[in-house]
Amino acid sequence: MADIFVARPSMPELEEYIDEIKDLWETRRLTNMGDKHREFQGLLESYLKVPHIELLVNGHMALEMTLQAMELPEGSEVITTPFTFASTTHAIVRNGLTPVFCDIKEDDMTIDPEKIGSLITDRTSAILPVHVYGNICDVQAIGRIADEYGLKVVYDAAHTFGETYYDEGVGCFGDASIFSFHATKVFHSVEGGAVAYRDDALGAALYNLKNFGIRGPESVVSVGANAKMNELCAALGICNLRHIDDEIEIRKTVCERYTEQLADVNGVTVHRPQAHVRANYAYYPVRIDPEVYGEDRDALYMRLLEKGIRARKYFYPLTSDYECYREKFERGTTPVADKISRQVLKLPIYSGLEEQTIDMICGVIRNGR
Ligand code: T4K
Cα 208 to middle of ligand 1, angstroms: 27
Q: Is 333 in the pocket of ligand 1 (CB under 6 A)?
A: no
Is 88 close to ligand 1, i.e. is its CB under 6 Å away? yes
Instruction: Please tell me the predicted confidence (pLDDT) of residue 179.
Output: 98
What spacing in Å lies between the alpha carbon of 6 and ligand 1's midpoint? 10
CB 303 within 8 A of CB 364: yes
| Among candidate residues 188, 314, 288, 285, the one with its CA nearest the CA of residue 244 | 188
Average of per-residue pLDDT values in the chain: 97
User: Ligand 1 within 6 A of 187 CB?
Assistant: no
Determine the distance from the C-alpha atom of residue 91 to the mean position of all C-alpha atoms in its chain, rounded to a whole number.
13
Dist. CA 366 → ligand 1 center (Å): 28
- Residue 184 pLDDT: 97
How many residues appear in the chain?
369
Contacts of 147 (CB under 8 A, 6+ apart): none
Ligand 1 lined by 184 (C-beta under 6 Å): yes
CA of 182 to the centre of ligand 1 (A): 7
Kindly state if the Cβ of 130 falls inside 6 Å of ligand 1. Answer: yes
- Please, where are the H alpha helices in 138-177? 139-149
Helix 200-209 and helix 59-69: axis angle, to 10°?
120
Q: Is 11 in the pocket of ligand 1 (CB under 6 A)?
A: no
Tens digit of pLDDT for each residue in 262-307?
Answer: 999 999 999 999 999 999 999 999 999 999 999 999 999 999 999 9
What pLDDT, in 10s, does the model give residues 120-171? Answer: 999 999 999 999 999 999 999 999 999 999 999 999 999 999 999 999 999 9
CA 319 to ligand 1 centroid distance, Å: 16
For residue 87, is pLDDT > 60? yes
What band does 71 get if pLDDT is binned at 50, 70 and 90?
very high
For the residues 44-55, what does the mean pLDDT come to?
98
Residue type at position 178:
I
User: What's residue 1's pLDDT?
Assistant: 74
What are the strands, taking DSSP E only, across 252-321? 268-269, 277-278, 285-288
Among 55, 85, 110, 349, name the best residue to mutate to test ligand 1's pocket (greatest count of ligand atoms within 8 A of Cβ): 85
What is the 85 CA–ligand 1 centroid distance (Å)?
9
Q: What does the pLDDT average to over 249-253?
A: 97
Q: Within a 13 Å sphere around the CA of 20, how many CA atoms are in the beta-carbon half?
A: 23
Q: How far does the chain reach from its first CA to its final CA, in angstroms?
A: 22
Cα(25)–Cα(172) distance, rounded to whole angstroms? 37
pLDDT of residue 32: 97
What is the pLDDT at residue 266? 96
- The pLDDT of residue 334 is 98
User: Which ligand 1 atom minimizes the distance to the CA of 314?
Assistant: 24
Q: Which among 46, 45, 56 is positioned nearest to 87, based on CA atoms?
A: 56
| Burial classification of residue 9, based on how many CB atoms lie within 10 Å of its CB (0-12 exposed, 13-18 middle, 19 or more buried) | middle
DSSP label at residue 8: -
CA atoms of 129 and 173, how far apart (whole Å): 11
Residue 368 has pLDDT above 80, yes or no: no
Phi/psi of residue 195, nearest 5 degrees: -115, 130
| Residue 93 backbone zone (phi > 0: left; psi -120 to 50: alpha; other: beta) | alpha
**Residue 179 CB: number of other CB atoms within 10 A?**
31
Confidence of residue 344 (pLDDT cuts 50, 70, 90): very high
Residue nearest to atom 4 of ligand 1 (CA): 85
Residue 244's φ and ψ, nearest 5 degrees, are: -65, -40
Residues 6 or more apart whose Cβ sits within 8 Å of residue 96: 74, 75
Q: State which ligand 1 atom lies nearest to the alpha carbon of 63.
A: 9
**What is the per-residue pLDDT for 332?**
85
Q: Whose CA is nearest to atom 20 of ligand 1?
A: 182
Ligand 1: residue of 88, 182, 189, 312 to mutate (most ligand atoms within 8 A of CB) is 182
